[in-house]
Amino acid sequence: MSTAAKRRLIRDFKRLASDPPIGISGSPNPDNIMIWNAVIFGPPDTPFEDGSFRLTLTFSDAYPNKPPTVRFVSKMFHPNIYHNGELCLDILQNRWSPTYDVAAILTSVQSLLNDPNPSSPANVEAAQLYKENIKEYERKVKHTVESSWMDNMEASAETSTSSSGTATRAPAIPAA
């Protein structure tokens, strides 16, 4: 592991922990600082509002000179997010700058939720609906938001343990 990358990621984590952007949370894996888990909350007044979306960021030894690989773990329906969770976001590709830190990356991803670029689609169906049938697009996004609640409950249940050390399940949310 590159010492420069590790130092930079420690600095990024300290900044994110001391001054987190609204609706964003992230931290390195306790066993590997090069892999981060993050959560982005859907921006207010958007179809993604009330959603809680999990991501992973995987950094190479070349960071910050090369961007991390960012992937949604949560199921997403968005013009610029591939079905496998990878993003089509310019700052993670041809517009990358070493001045971007983890907070800037996650803020850009959060902004993308509110401001998709349907002319450069990763998900053609989502881009087409966004341009031609916004109500249907918003309906599908609402389903994604609801799925994010269940994803997070399942993730919480997987990591929650009782005093005996056995896994416990989180209570189910009744259907509305």
Cite the active site residues. Answer: 88
Q: What is the DSSP secondary structure assignment for residue 115, as one 8-state letter?
A: S
Q: Which residues of the chain have pLDDT under 70?
A: 1-2, 151-176
CB 106 within 8 A of CB 40: yes
Per-residue model confidence as pLDDT tens digits over 129-148: 999 999 999 999 999 999 98
pLDDT at 150: 77
Per-residue model confidence as pLDDT tens digits over 6-29: 999 999 999 999 999 999 999 999
- The model carries a pTM of 0.84
Domains and CATH numbers, the chain: 3-154 (3.10.110.10)
Cα-based distances in Å from 134 to 66, 78, 111, 139 = 35, 12, 18, 9
CB 42 within 8 A of CB 24: no
CA atoms within 13 A on the CB side of 76: 31
What is the spatial distance between Cα 139 and Cα 31, in angstroms, rounded to a whole number?
A: 39
